[in-house]
Amino acid sequence: MSNPKEILTTQMNPLIKRLKDIEAFVGNTPLYPIRNVYKKEGVSIYAKLEWQQFGGSVKARPAFNIFKQALLEGKVDRNKHLLDATSGNTGIAYASIGAALEIPVTLCLPENASKERKMILNALGVNIVYTSRFDGTDGAQLKAKELKAEFPDKYYYADQYANDNNWKAHYNHTAEEIFRETDGKVTHFVAGLGTTGTFMGTTRKLHELNPAIQCISVQPDIALHGLEGWKHMETARVPKIYDAAIADQEMTIDTLASYDMIKKFAAKEGYLLSPSSAANMASAIKLAETIDEGVIVTVFPDNAEKYSEVLNHLFKF
């Protein structure tokens, strides 16, 4: 049931009313059963198809929650920009919501982001501030902080890496969906670490719903990896929302294994996955090889639509 204060705010603020309209298209993504790319008696693998929502990726969930809370608290309006650092997907989700609300969005983006991401962000009217490719999202965060410090009245710095509304989106929704869609039979949850919001929020709630559920975090096996948006925690700026103690187990994945999974999954399951989705899939299979029975759930953050360079390399277009 909606909070009476929120109902009153909605009646008074047309921006909040518009946000409520968008909410119907965030979350509730389908749970896809893996049938062909991996088979093992007693073990089932499922994946949430997160690109099937407003904004086109898993980042629609935290972006929406961050935007919603910022509006409710009066931190953004049609004259004050939402500012953040992004590797692309959260930025696109912010941009989609911002365009629908007519609220300006400024994003600090590493210059080596895919051309599709840049094109989409430009089409959605985002003010893009490019940062060094060599500094990744860590450099983009530093630039965002500089802009906020220089123009405090112009920007609300959302800071997805430190914003609790990031992981709470998954705590309140993603985990509940997984538990409901598996009829409570989920035994393992596997997800890669970027902002860490997906893993943190989903794991916290799944552990509450059933403490026996094993939650496995995944990160690249080396610092110089090819998984855009993922963090190698030993060498990266660790997000403030991250708590390593929450994971029941930690796992690493090789970038080449993830890329190989893109080809296998397309041929056997009919979906073209992004590198992140393929990495989660490869990790789920890696876990499946170590257990005799269970129901493993992972997330596919996005599909391959924004990764033409990867596809060209893999399929020689």
Distance CA 27, CA 166 (A): 14
Given the candidates 3.30.1330.20, 3.40.718.10, 3.40.50.1100, 3.40.50.300, the CATH classification of the domain at 60-157 is 3.40.50.1100
Q: Report pLDDT for 213.
A: 98
Q: Report pLDDT for 8.
A: 44
Distance CA 35, CA 37 (A): 6
- Quick: pLDDT tens for 171-218: 999 999 999 999 999 999 999 999 999 999 999 999 999 999 999 999
Give residues with Cβ within 8 angstroms of 187, minimum separation 6.
Answer: 212, 213, 214, 293, 294, 295, 296
- Look up residue 277 and give its amino acid: S
Distance CA 72, CA 279 (A): 36
- Quick: pLDDT tens for 222-259: 998 989 889 999 998 899 999 999 999 999 999 999 99
User: Looking at 32-36, 279-283, 313-317, which range is the least confident one?
Assistant: 313-317
pTM attached to this predicted model: 0.91
Q: Let me know if 311 is exposed, middle or buried by CB neighbors in 10 A (0-12, 13-18, 19+).
A: middle
User: Looking at 31-35, 268-272, 304-308, which range is the least confident one?
Assistant: 304-308
Distance CA 311, CA 314 (A): 5
Bridge-based pairing state of the strands 188-192 and 294-300: parallel
Distance CA 173, CA 186 (A): 16
Residue 11 has pLDDT above 70, yes or no: no
Query: How many Cβ atoms sit within 10 Å of the Cβ of residue 173?
Result: 20
Q: Let me know if 293 is exposed, middle or buried by CB neighbors in 10 A (0-12, 13-18, 19+).
A: exposed
- Quick: pLDDT tens for 118-164: 999 999 999 999 999 888 888 999 999 999 999 999 999 999 999 99
Question: Which phi and psi angles does 8 have, rounded to 5°?
Answer: -65, -45
- Quick: pLDDT tens for 212-232: 999 999 999 999 898 988 999
Given the candidates 3.40.190.10, 3.30.450.40, 3.40.50.1100, 1.20.200.10, the CATH classification of the domain at 22-53+169-315 is 3.40.50.1100
Distance CA 117, CA 120 (A): 5
Q: Please give the mean pLDDT across all residues of the chain.
A: 93
Q: Report pLDDT for 135.
A: 86
Distance CA 260, CA 203 (A): 28
- CATH 3.40.50.1100 in the chain is located at 22-53+169-315, 60-157
- Quick: pLDDT tens for 80-128: 999 999 988 999 999 999 999 999 999 999 998 888 889 999 999 999 9
Structure tokens at 61: 């969930």
Q: Report pLDDT for 257.
A: 94
Structure tokens at 93: 């989700």
Cα separations in angstroms, 198 against 48, 191, 241: 12, 7, 11
Residue 7 has pLDDT above 70, yes or no: no
3-class state of residue 40 by DSSP: strand
Distance CA 289, CA 282 (A): 11
